[in-house]
Structure 1
Amino acid sequence: MPALNQTETLHTTLDMAQDRLRKAGYRVTRQRLAVYSFLNENESHPTVDDIYAAVRERFPKVSVATIYKSVDSLVDVGLVKPIYLGHAAATRFDASTETHGHFRCIACNEITDIPVSHEPEMSEALDHCEIVGSTVEFYGYCRSCQTQKLASTP
């Protein structure tokens, strides 16, 4: 069977999203699908403000409330994960729902996906627990900010 091209993959992903939304009782709207498409195509882990700015280009009359409701529904059906970065930072969103962690630069706030392995010791330590989710976050300075930091050090 030939591999799917990018357009076919996006259509398959959108079909799956529509199916999940309908099964959960949500209306499938063009705005909601635009929010999901943007998140699915964007690896920068955008905030609601970022999503609003992008979707507004296609739908100039869309409201921020519609974006919030759309994101909430996508989180509810498991298509999107929220990323909480602390009390002062805006929540970001990630359409990659496979198990992975994040590296957050504490200087520029860039977030990068990182693979996370499940060590046997961890599985043994948690074998009596029912795990329903996890969050792994590393933080420090990205390469660019490290370079700038070193350049500004006397």
Structure 2
Amino acid sequence: MNKREAMVLLKNKGYKHTDKREDILDLFDRKNGYLSAKDIQSELKGDYPGISFDTIYRNLSLFQDLMILEETELDGEKIYQFHCTEHHHHHLICLRCGKTRTIDVCPMQDLSQIDPEFQVTGHKFEIYGYCKSCRDKMAKEKFEGGIHDSITVSPST
């Protein structure tokens, strides 16, 4: 899913075009990863100083109902990204920047043999960690912080 496809879907389902909806979808298009309602409010407050969480959540709920966005939870907070429509896959999710990478491996292929009589109707498999870019930034921050930690000041005599 992308912004253009989402806008067409909204129109075809009879939903009104609003600048806020378009700007929220544009944000997902540009960010290429998971976003929280707080992220969205922070990004859009310049154009919409009074934008409320209620407005954001109402649109996120609509987008999720229409399968424009998919939701997951990270540290107790719901986060969203465009719904993946290409093929069945799962995600590696960076805990720092929220960017995702698809992986085609599905553990359900092996798990389905555990109970062949159990009818699976859906599943979600996500792997959390840090992308290389974020690991490099964190190492640099730790190194720079370490320099300051090692400075000692001697009292003058």
TM-score bracket for the superposition, by shorter chain length: 0.5 to 0.7
Amino acid corresponding to residue 52 of structure 2 in structure 1: S
For the 8 Å contact 2:94–2:128, the answer to whether it is kept is yes
Distance 1:42 1:33 in 2: 14
Query: TM-score, normalised to structure 2's length?
Result: 0.64
Partners of 2:78 and 2:47 lie apart in 1 by: 23
* Counterpart residue identity of residue 9, structure 2: M
Provide the aligned C-alpha RMSD in A: 3.4
Give the paired residue count. 136
2:150 aligned residue: none
> 1:72 Cα shift?
0.9
Q: For residue 139 of structure 2, what is the aligned residue in structure 1?
A: 148
Whole-Å separation in 2 of the counterparts to 1:12 and 1:142: 28
Once the 2 structures are TM-superposed, how far is the Cα of residue 48 of structure 1 from its aligned partner?
Answer: 0.6
Is 1:56 paired with 2:33?
no
Structure whose alpha-carbon radius of gyration is higher: 2
Contact 1:100 1:113 in 2 (8 A): no
Q: TM-score, normalised by structure 1?
A: 0.65
Which of 41, 64, 83 is the aligned partner of 1:96? 83
Q: Structure 1 residues 145, 12: CA separation in 2 closer, same or farther (over 3 Å shift)?
A: closer
Residue aligning to 2:152:
none
Maintained 8 Å contact 1:100/1:116: yes
Identity %: 17
What are the superposed Cα offsets for residues 11-68 of structure 1, whole Å, 9 maximum, x if unpaired?
A: 4542223324x2xxx5443222322222233213111111112233333332221111
Q: Which residue of 1 aligns with 2:74?
A: 85
Which of the pair is proportionally richer in strand? 2
* Distance verdict in 2 for CA 1:117–1:92, change over 3 Å: same
- The Cα of 1:74 is off from its aligned counterpart by 0.6
Distance, in Å, in 2 between the alignment partners of 1:103 and 1:119 is: 14
The runs of 5 or more residues in structure 1 that have no matched partner are: 1-8
Match of 1:19 among 12, 22, 27: 12
Q: Contact (CA 8 Å) 1:40, 1:96: kept in 2 or not?
A: no
Report the Cα distance in structure 2 between the residues aligned to 1:120 and 1:59, rounded to whole angstroms: 43
